[in-house]
């Protein structure tokens, strides 16, 4: 069983404080810190992307909390994740996930698991705006 404060989860319309997530997960017993940043890119499937809008289900943060708690408990590591919603521009950070561990292998594996689960389990949707004026929902 992991301590109740072994995870952090947030959905926000404000820029994510990466340093705060790193500080949350990192302790003096850790030799590895893995941080993932999902950054808005300027292209998708051959089209030029100009901006993204993220929308979340009203209970999305509850899903993220439960997921982060589960990953922390199953790994025995401290984990943190924050996801932005609202309008984001190319270059903005949409998602930050952080995991610290005594060794790099478990930090990388746990961070990858955390990201994969966020992408598949947390009800957040993105609509991308394209240079040709079209907009499309992604991954619905």
8 Å CB contact between 68 and 6: no
CA-wise closest residue to 98 among 116, 119, 78: 78
* CB proximity list for 24: less than 8 A, separation 6 or greater: 8, 78, 80, 98
pLDDT for the residue 1: 43
Query: C-alpha angle with apex 56: 55 to 59, nearest 5 degrees?
Result: 165
List of the chain residues with pLDDT < 70: 1-4
Tokens found for residue 10:
């947030």
β-strand 43-44 against 124-130: which pairing, if any?
Answer: unpaired
Q: Tell me: the pLDDT tens digits for 15-41? A: 999 999 999 999 999 999 999 999 999
Kindly report the average pLDDT of the chain as a whole number: 95
All domains of the chain in start order, with CATH: 7-138 (3.90.1170.40)
* CB proximity list for 128: less than 8 A, separation 6 or greater: 44, 49, 51, 52, 53, 135, 136, 138
pLDDT for the residue 140: 73
Q: Which residues pair with 73 in a beta bridge?
A: none
pLDDT for the residue 5: 85
pLDDT for the residue 3: 58
Query: Would you call 112 helix, strand, or coil by DSSP?
Result: helix
pTM metric for this prediction? 0.94
The C-alpha atoms of residue 136 and residue 97 are separated, in whole angstroms, by 26
């Amino acid at each position: 069983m992991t301590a109740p404060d072994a995870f952090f989860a947030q959905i926000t319309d404000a820029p994510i404080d990466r340093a705060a997530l790193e500080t949350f997960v990192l302790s003096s017993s850790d030799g590895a810190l893995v941080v993932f940043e999902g950054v808005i890119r300027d292209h998708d499937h051959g089209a030029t992307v100009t901006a993204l809008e993220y929308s979340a289900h009203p209970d999305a943060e509850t899903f993220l909390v439960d997921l982060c708690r589960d990953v922390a408990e199953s790994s025995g590591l401290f984990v943190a994740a924050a996801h932005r919603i609202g309008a984001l521009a190319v270059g903005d950070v949409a998602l930050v996930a952080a995991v610290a561990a005594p060794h790099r292998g478990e930090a990388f594996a746990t961070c990858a698991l955390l990201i994969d689960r966020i992408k598949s389990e947390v009800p957040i949707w993105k609509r991308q705006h394209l240079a040709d004026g079209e907009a499309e929902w992604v991954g619905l």
